[in-house]
Amino acid sequence: RNKHKGKDKDKDEEEEEQVEASSSQQAAKEEPVKLANILPVVLKRQELEEWLYEKNFAEYVRHLFVRYGLGIRDGQNTYRLCEITGVQQSHKIYKVGNSRTDQMLVLRGATSDGNIK
């Protein structure tokens, strides 16, 4: 019996730990993201220019963030922070720095359908 009780106790402790972990994950989801935590994963245009022709470019930039220009609102440039979800080949050629590319970033976070290309 004692061994069985010990097993039940271990099982109960495991369930308690899982509940605590789940609660802490939910709390983390509810806390607002701080700009200081995001800045290290925001890709600058210069970095895009440098990495564009790297062999694993698509893997390097996936899940990083970029500022996406929405235009001018109230006389000021307006941007939205978007996550890079992938890289695709485009039918359009883009000028990037001193070179041109047909690589297109797929972004999440700025439109009703959730993606920008």
Mean residue pLDDT across the chain: 79
User: Which amino acid is it at 95?
Assistant: K
Q: Which residue has the tokens 């600058």?
A: 44
pLDDT for 25: 57
User: Which amino acid is it at 97?
Assistant: G
* 84 three-state secondary structure: strand
Distances (CA, A) of 68 to 4, 9, 49, 54, 58: 59, 53, 16, 22, 18
Q: 82 vs 5, which has greater pLDDT?
A: 82
C-beta of residue 116 within 8 angstroms of C-beta of residue 106: yes
Position 32 confidence tier, pLDDT thresholds 50, 70, 90? confident
C-beta of residue 94 within 8 angstroms of C-beta of residue 110: no
Q: 82 vs 24, which has greater pLDDT?
A: 82
Q: What's the CA gap between 86 and 114, in Å, rounded?
A: 13
Whole-model pTM: value is 0.64
pLDDT for 3: 47
User: Which amino acid is it at 56?
Assistant: N
Q: Work out the average pLDDT over 33-46.
A: 86
pLDDT for 15: 56
pLDDT for 87: 95
Q: Work out the average pLDDT over 88-114.
A: 85
Dihedral angle sign, alpha carbons of residues 72, 36, 47, 57: negative
